[in-house]
Amino acid sequence: MLRHIAAVLILSAAALVSLPAAARKPPTPALADAPLRAQPDDDSRIVAHIKAGDPLTTLGAENGFTRVMTKKGKRGWVHDEVVVAAQTQAGLGGDTTTLAANEGDTATALRGAGTLGKKKLKTIVVTAAGVSPESAKKLADLLRKDSRLYLLRSIPAEGTPEAGKPLGGLEGAEKIASSQKPDPDLLVGVMAGNGGALQYEVVDLQKKAVLATGEGAGEDAVASAVGGALPAASPASSPTPAAK
């Protein structure tokens, strides 16, 4: 009996090993340079460094990290954004979950993430006390519709921001951004205003400039103000007329 069980196990293992390449999950291209860590934690030991474009096989996900294996067989953890092409579902409390991977589809991955901000502005929404999770999610959903933005996540502001300055100006925005990976290009800060209004502040970290501050009647008004503060989208290039 034991011999029969052992034989079945050996045959099963052999069948798994002999699976055709087409049946295996194809690797996902890394969308940015990143450290490969031993555990899903920013303080964990770095075991290797990933370069943008490196093929990575995904093995699992936990705590905002994805477990991957490199082409050389090295295993470890990287931030979800390194291998994930879909937008985050924004939420309060630094929720960066509900990320959907387009594994094995290089073209879709690079288009979906805008090559992680090389064509779009990597954006983080910072919500201060008084802004409900529902309000934060609605604002994030509105911003996600802007083709110029790639929404990374929504996080809570630390402490109590000064009235009208949910980000604390350029200096405060740079401090917030310094703890975020990948590095954001744009921060949108919101806090509760008067009569249910939302006070907002928009900071462009690439240009090191406060693009807009003010108060809107709701999420739609804030999203409109953010859109108005951004550079116009580049028009699609016209086809070159054929030579006569």
Mean pLDDT of 49-77: 87
Q: How far is residue 184's CA from residue 96's CA, in Å, rounded to a whole number?
A: 14
| Total H helices, total E strands in the chain | 7, 11
Q: What is the pLDDT of residues 122-171, one digit of tens each?
A: 899 999 878 998 999 899 889 988 989 888 888 898 888 888 899 999 99
Domains of the chain: 24-83 (2.30.30.40), 120-229 (3.40.50)
Tell me how far CA of residue 29 lies from CA of 68, 81, 172, in angstroms.
Answer: 11, 11, 34
- pTM value > 0.95: no
- What are φ and ψ of residue 152, in 5° steps? -85, -50
Provide the token pair at 225: 């103000």
Mean pLDDT of 42-66: 84
How confident is the model at residue 198, as a pLDDT? 94
- Of the segments 47-61, 62-76, 165-179, which one has the largest average pLDDT value? 165-179
Mean pLDDT of 65-84: 85
Q: What is the pLDDT of residues 186-237, one digit of tens each?
A: 999 999 988 889 999 999 999 999 999 999 999 999 999 999 999 876 554 4
How confident is the model at residue 1, as a pLDDT? 57
Q: What is the pLDDT of residues 89-126, one digit of tens each?
A: 333 333 332 233 333 333 333 333 333 434 688 899 99
